[in-house]
Amino acid sequence: MITISLTECIIIGLITILCGFIIEYFIRIYSCKEINNDNLFTYNKKNIMFLISLFVIGILIHIGLTFIEFDQWTCAKVCDLNGCKVLCSLPLNSFTNLLITE
């Protein structure tokens, strides 16, 4: 069963909007004038539907990552005579075992 708090969803949605503003800022600063005037963020910066879309995208990403239990990713360092290895697993029925070697 998935348990998602409304507060978490709102915070993640607001962070997504903030990320959109940060991307728009970097586009405005580092792009040429042609791209700067015609990009999606600058054009829709004051459009409320665009901000709501960013908010909803953030919530959907949060729900999706919670559904696949991405926040439960665990890693363990395993050492033997040959050296140390880091074994990471995603608890979705041991869906992924990622081996990171040094």
| Tens-place pLDDT, residues 81-90 | 888 887 777 6
- 7-37: per-residue pLDDT in tens? 888 899 999 989 988 887 887 777 777 666 6
78 plus 61 within the same structural domain: no
> Does position 61 have pLDDT exceeding 70, yes or no?
yes
Provide the domain count of the chain.
Answer: 2
What percentage of the chain exceeds 90 in pLDDT? 13
61 plus 27 within the same structural domain: yes
47 plus 80 within the same structural domain: no
- Which pLDDT value is given to residue 79? 84
Domain that holds residue 76: 72-102
- How far apart (Å, rounded) are the C-alpha atoms in residues 42 and 32? 13
Q: How far apart are the first and last CA of the chain?
A: 37
57 plus 80 within the same structural domain: no
29 plus 78 within the same structural domain: no
76 plus 30 within the same structural domain: no
For the record, the structure tokens of 66 come out as 């919670």
The pLDDT of 31-58, averaged and rounded, is: 75
> Does position 55 have pLDDT exceeding 80, yes or no?
yes
